Structure 1
Amino acid sequence: MRFEIVHQTVYRFHRPVELGEHRLMIRPRDSHDLRLVEATLQIEPPSALRWVHDVFGNSIALASFAGRHDGLSITSRLVLERFARQPQSLEVDPKAACYPFAYGASDRLDLGATTRMEDPAGRDALRGWTSGFLPGRRAETLDLLTRMASAIRAEFTYEPRAAEGTQAARETLRRRSGTCRDFAMLLIEAARHLGLGARFVTGYLYDPALDPQAADEPSAPIRGAASTHAWAEVYLPGAGWIEFDPTNGTVASGDLIRVAVTRSPSQALPVSGTFLGSRNDAAGMEVTVRIRAIA
């Protein structure tokens, strides 16, 4: 499918302030499952822009400003093609098809920090939760991960939260509620607790119900499509990085539009930056995301 995505972030201030450097993580990279056709970026006031790759290889824009301003508007427009994953691409190496299994030496080295929990203090809570999916202590690996993602969708309450930050997995387990990034981190920490490599993904989620040009609406409500979205990827030999969206209980969905992958949610902010002034100078921020399928 071909999509158009317009993502706008607007900051307002009560008086003119000096804007510090802003970091923008809003441009995806071309791959076999995603082709970037067009990408435009409009920033007001004008900025000096430079592009870099972060430690994960994500495309990052750094915007610098001169003078004082009472607002900042950042509008990204993307046109891209998303290619759905074919079922045969989910074939896991026979040595990893049943959990538990051990990664090969090369994979262990390269996966590195993606196998280490962000919050080791939550291991007991995760042990209790994940054990419910392993009654016989063994399971088909892909099925195990799919059942955990589906359980989050079915048993946890989705509660959008404007405040920055991500709950620790043990807090999400205690509250039984959270945002898409909380649910992604719960699944990531559960996978890491089980010794698997997992990483955080930020991007967008297409919902036909929000697209006036779509012919059909989904049979089940889609959660998290009105703004940026977050999900998890888990590495399984043979199949590679597999996308799990615990907010909606899906696996390898073609409606997930990846922008960047990181080890931790704190590294995946779409827009971040500073200004010189008092906290009271900030008048508010508004973020809008519009996604539509196009011919």
Structure 2
Amino acid sequence: MTILTVRHLTTYSYAAPVRLGEHRMMLRPRDSNDQRLLEASLEIEPRPRRLRWIHDVFDNCVAIADFSGETRRLEVENVITLEHIASDEPDFLLEERARTYPFSYDAEEMPDLARAIERHYPDPSGELERWVRRFVNQGRPTETAGLLMTLTDAIKEGVAYERRTAKGTQSPLQTLLTRRGSCRDYATLMMEAARTLGFAARFVSGYLYVPGGGADDDHPRRGGGSTHAWCQVYLPGSGWVEFDPTNGIVGNRDLIRVAVARDARQAIPLHGSYWGKAEDEEGMVVTVVVRRLPDPEPANRERP
């Protein structure tokens, strides 16, 4: 068990006073058996006229802020402390029918999994399908776990990582063509490749813990210092399993889940609107610091 803290600071600056519209924030981690939220604080300046919390259709916790008046700066600081139980590559305790690919999902699960299996991006010439089929054995069984781990590694090794601050996500075909992308582009490519093979997959946004606090240049972990993205694939017997193609991680080690969705556009950590001139927007600065707290000192037991 590890105790991690995350400080996520987002600052918007404007050249002239603007009136802020509604802002939606997905910043509160999802409690589960492998991560438990201990403390959380959300500070917003200027202070919202109203702040309310809801759960969206995917059961993510969303904060919605409404503002009054004008400002030249919006600052959102989210600080969380959570208990994290890391696992290395999962044991893949799959049901017998799912040990080899292809397999069929249970009929009772299909209505809930259908949209996660459905392909979300066009592939008119079948380029993505041809690419992903390379990892499926021809004429002999393909081990399901091995297939997904190979796909994860192929994306990690075949796509050059770049930190991209521009809005939006590249299409899977664009990432395949350019062989470059951010973590959300890696995740989207992995999801769509898995869906092409008939797997149910979904997008995950959250944070990455980089042991030692090193930057991307001096540590093999890529995606530290900002929000992070990866995907989950649903496997009978194991449930939703984490796959981070940016770093080749299978399992939850160093990953802090915040939100899940069918598509990256549904899991944006912070987005909103303002009334003013387009040229008034000077930019956004995001800083994320994830630290591990020292292990508690063992209790001092005095002997009689």
Q: TM-score, normalised by structure 1?
A: 0.94
Q: Which residue of 2 aligns with 1:113?
A: 115
Q: Which residue, 88, 95, 98 being the options, matches 1:96?
A: 98
Alpha-carbon distance between aligned partners in 1 of 2:47 and 2:89, rounded to the nearest angstrom? 46
Q: Which residue, 125, 131, 134 being the options, matches 1:132?
A: 134
Quick one: structure 1 residues 25 and 201, their matched pair in 2 at CA, closer, same or farther if it must change by over 3 Å?
Answer: same
Q: Which residue of 2 aligns with 1:143?
A: 146
Q: Tell me if structure 1 keeps the 8 A contact 2:51–2:64.
A: yes
Find the structure with the greater CA-based Rg: 2
Q: Which residue, 54, 57, 72 being the options, matches 1:55?
A: 57
Q: Which residue of 2 aligns with 1:70?
A: 72
**Percent identity among equivalent residues?**
46
For 1:120, the aligned partner's letter is P
SS of aligned partner of 2:19: strand
Q: Tell me if structure 1 keeps the 8 A contact 2:119–2:192.
A: yes
**How far off is 1:120 after superposition?**
3.0
Q: Tell me if structure 2 keeps the 8 A contact 1:125–1:173.
A: no
SS of aligned partner of 2:191: helix
Q: Tell whether 2:208 aligns with 1:205.
A: yes
**How far off is 1:253 after superposition?**
3.3
Q: Which residue of 1 aligns with 2:196?
A: 193
For 2:189, the aligned partner's letter is L
Quick one: structure 1 residues 87 and 159, their matched pair in 2 at CA, closer, same or farther if it must change by over 3 Å?
Answer: closer
Quick one: structure 1 residues 282 and 102, their matched pair in 2 at CA, closer, same or farther if it must change by over 3 Å?
Answer: same
List structure 1 segments (4+ residues) > 4 angstroms apart after TM superposition. Answer: 86-89
Q: Which residue of 2 aligns with 1:243?
A: 242
Alpha-carbon distance between aligned partners in 2 of 1:189 and 1:126, rounded to the nearest angstrom? 8
Q: TM-score, normalised by structure 2?
A: 0.92
| Number of aligned residue pairs | 291
**How far off is 1:254 after superposition?**
1.6
Q: Which residue of 1 aligns with 2:34?
A: 33
Of 203-212 and 37-46, deviating more is 203-212
Q: Which residue of 1 aligns with 2:82?
A: 80
1:72-114: CA deviation from partner (whole Å, max 9, x where unpaired):
0000000001112376653111110100011110121111210
Q: Tell whether 2:173 aligns with 1:174.
A: no
**How far off is 1:28 after superposition?**
1.1
Alpha-carbon distance between aligned partners in 2 of 1:181 and 1:122, rounded to the nearest angstrom? 23
Alpha-carbon distance between aligned partners in 2 of 1:252 and 1:68, rounded to the nearest angstrom? 45
Q: Which residue of 1 aligns with 2:302?
A: none
Structure 1: where are the runs of 5+ without partners? none
Alpha-carbon distance between aligned partners in 1 of 2:60 and 2:170, rounded to the nearest angstrom? 24
Alpha-carbon distance between aligned partners in 2 of 1:29 and 1:184, rounded to the nearest angstrom? 19
Q: Which residue of 2 aligns with 1:293?
A: 292
Q: Which residue of 2 aligns with 1:221?
A: 220
